[in-house]
Amino acid sequence: MIAQFAPMNIPGPLILEWYAREGRKLPWRDTTDPYLIWIAEVVLQQTRIAQGISYYYRFIGRFPDVRSLAEAEMDEVLKYWEGLGYYSRARNLHAAAQSIVNEYGGEFPTHYKALMKLKGIGPYTARAIGSFAFGNATGVIDGNVLRVMSRVLGDASPVNQQRTRERFQEIIDQWVQGIDSRGFNHGIMDLGSVLCTPTKPGCMICPLEGICEARQQGTTHLLPVKEKKAARRIRFFFFYLIRNAEGDLLIRQRPPKGVWGGLWEIPNREVAPESWEKRKQQQEGVFLFSGKHVFTHFDMQYAVFDLAEGLGPLRGDELYVSPEQRERYAFPRAVLNMLEEAQVR
């Protein structure tokens, strides 16, 4: 059963009025081109806006429309994604661009339900494109919006639970009926980002102060509620810097699917957690440094060694590259960081 809202408690007009005055000016908000909106949304998943803007411009500079992306080589798309992480996003962009060209004649489907059938386009991105490009009457929920909704509704249900998200989706879909969904969705996201912040929300200047349950009950510091997650898994790896007599670096290509699919890395091997410390002492070569990299589903603890000689004959997926040649290959951010910390030219 979805709550019914008295007209005075519907935040739509308040948010639209606030957004018109205070909304952030972002490059992808000046357009209704679904391709540009799509690229921006995917770049910004897991990436802060300040960092994402330069990647966005670089990407659309090389792939300005869906056809240029569909026709590009996968290796080049990965190269333009290098450093952003979560490389399945780049592979999915490429696959979905090909579907749009081959199955839809290069035109985006205009409803979010049809958009969701494309590879890598989940409910959030589909609703964002549907609203921002085509004006679909649907709410777009990100982490900022969940926080605003939890407080405005005074709702202590864990926001990281699927059933809470589904209920909030139904509520926000009511809120956008009959109004400018584009302005509303941008507005509520901005409000969560700049006013309804996790700590010290700016309630005194918030347009929703009069209808916000948490503000009226003094519970803003208690909301939103998040259910505790299980401890993250840690996997342990040794990475090796190996150079030939000319000083070229040995690199290796990952299989096309899975973690870092299709990208290049330096040779490495996974080590059992219980023998990590002992084997670190026994490793051949010079220990350089250790570090940690966070993936979506696990943390990687790694140690980097400088090896005088290779681990055996070259495999089919390995090659030696000079510093200039290395520029042509796409590496994951973690490996780029290792090369930088080891001061590999």
Between helix 143-153 and helix 162-175 the angle, nearest 10°, is 80
CB closer to ligand SF4 out of 226 and 315: 226
Please name the residues in contact with 100: beta carbons below 8 A apart, sequence gap of 6 or more: 66, 70, 106, 107, 108, 118
Nearest distance, CB of residue 127 and ligand SF4, angstroms: 21
CB closer to ligand SF4 out of 122 and 210: 210
**Binding residues vs ligand SF4 (CB under 6 A):** 148, 151-152, 195-196, 201-203, 206, 208-209, 212, 214-215, 220
DSSP codes, 278-317: HHHHH-SSEEEEEEEEE-SSEEEEEEEEEESS-SSSPPTT
Measured CA to CA, the distance from residue 14 to residue 18 in angstroms comes to: 6
3-state SS assignment for residue 319:
strand
Nearest distance, CB of residue 150 and ligand SF4, angstroms: 9
Nearest distance, CB of residue 215 and ligand SF4, angstroms: 4
For the stretch 43-50, contacts whose Cβ atoms lie closer than 8 Å and that sit 24 or more positions apart, written own/partner, are 43/84, 45/86, 45/89, 45/125, 46/85, 46/86, 47/84, 47/85
Nearest distance, CB of residue 167 and ligand SF4, angstroms: 18
CA 345 to chain centre: 29
> Which candidate in 17, 22, 41, 76 is catalytic?
41
Nearest distance, CB of residue 227 and ligand SF4, angstroms: 21
Strand order in the sheet with 249-253: 264-265, 249-253, 318-321
Q: Which amino acid is at 123?
A: P
CB closer to ligand SF4 out of 85 and 183: 183
CB closer to ligand SF4 out of 151 and 167: 151
Nearest distance, CB of residue 216 and ligand SF4, angstroms: 9
- Tell me which residue of 27, 34, 10, 320 sits closest to 178, measured CA to CA: 10
CB closer to ligand SF4 out of 52 and 139: 139
Between helix 74-81 and helix 88-104 the angle, nearest 10°, is 130
Q: Is residue 82 annotated as a catalytic residue, yes or no?
A: no
Catalytic residues: 41
